[in-house]
Amino acid sequence: MTDERRMKKKATERFFVEWFIEKIGWDSCKVFDDEGPDFKIEFPDKIIGLEVTSLFKDEALKGSPIKRNESLRGRWLSAVSEKYYEKSQLPLKVQILIKSGELEGDPEALACELAQRSNIKIRERAEFEFTATARCNLEIRFVRLSDKFKRYKRWTFIDNHIGFSREIDEAVILNKVKKKAAKLPKYRERYSEIVLLIVLDRTYESGMFHLIADELVLPDCGFSSVYLALYPENYIKIC
């Protein structure tokens, strides 16, 4: 993993930790980045270690194909935005939907097309179809933003955020907990209390799960507590 991707991963984990802390009401704590486990949570009267992990659809030893495709689309779109702002300083908010085929093609080509079409009125919307390759057709939707949104890059691949919610059961969660519990002996060298937070980011297809029971309770796996973050709605304590 490159340093850039490692920093992005840590920033994403911190985002979910801060969301969880607000939801659970740990108002008096301070959060510090750490490794082994991921975060140090400091309260006035105690310190706990917090390990963070995510759960994705079709997750296997080599990861989740769905999450891998989301990441590929995200990196491709990031490259488009970088190349666009090399050609135009007019801020845009862009959404992309794959009409046919799998994503492929040079981000430079779409950046050039957007730059040619970007000189429209502020808040004006436009859309067009773009042939990335002979096998990949995209639908592009964009809106011109005011200049205060300089180099706005929160562009979206719609495909990453649509899909069907899948049932999740105790066996799936238990497997994830056991995998993380293998690191507990090392973590206990530094912390007496260790909490595990499992994140299901349901704003992405890869994290669209729902529980098949009103309550989910796991056997003791060594963590002080285990929480399931059903982002962005709520969380549940499962151990």
Q: What is the pLDDT of residue 214?
A: 62
Which residues are registered as beta bridge partners of 229? Answer: 199, 235
- Residue whose C-alpha is closest to residue 55's, from 179, 152, 139, 140: 179
Q: What is the pLDDT of residues 7-22, one digit of tens each?
A: 989 999 999 999 999 9
3-state secondary structure of 205: helix
Stretch 75-89: mean pLDDT, rounded? 97
Q: What is the pLDDT of residue 1?
A: 67
In the structure, what pLDDT confidence band is assigned to residue 168 with cuts at 50, 70 and 90? confident
Q: What is the pLDDT of residues 176-214, one digit of tens each?
A: 999 999 999 999 999 999 999 999 999 999 999 988 766
Q: What is the pLDDT of residues 215-231, one digit of tens each?
A: 677 778 899 999 999 99
161's tokens: 């955020």
Please state which of the four CATH numbers 3.40.1350, 2.30.29, 2.40.128, 3.40.50 is assigned to the domain occupying 3-63+164-237.
3.40.1350
Please classify residue 162 by burial: count the beta carbons closer than 10 Å to its beta carbon, then call 0-12 exposed, 13-18 middle and 19+ buried. exposed
Query: How far apart are the C-alpha atoms of 158 and 29, rounded to whole Å?
Result: 36
Stretch 58-77: mean pLDDT, rounded? 92
Specify the domain boundaries for CATH 3.40.1350 within the chain. Answer: 3-63+164-237
Stretch 143-162: mean pLDDT, rounded? 97
CB–CB of 93/148 below 8 Å?
no
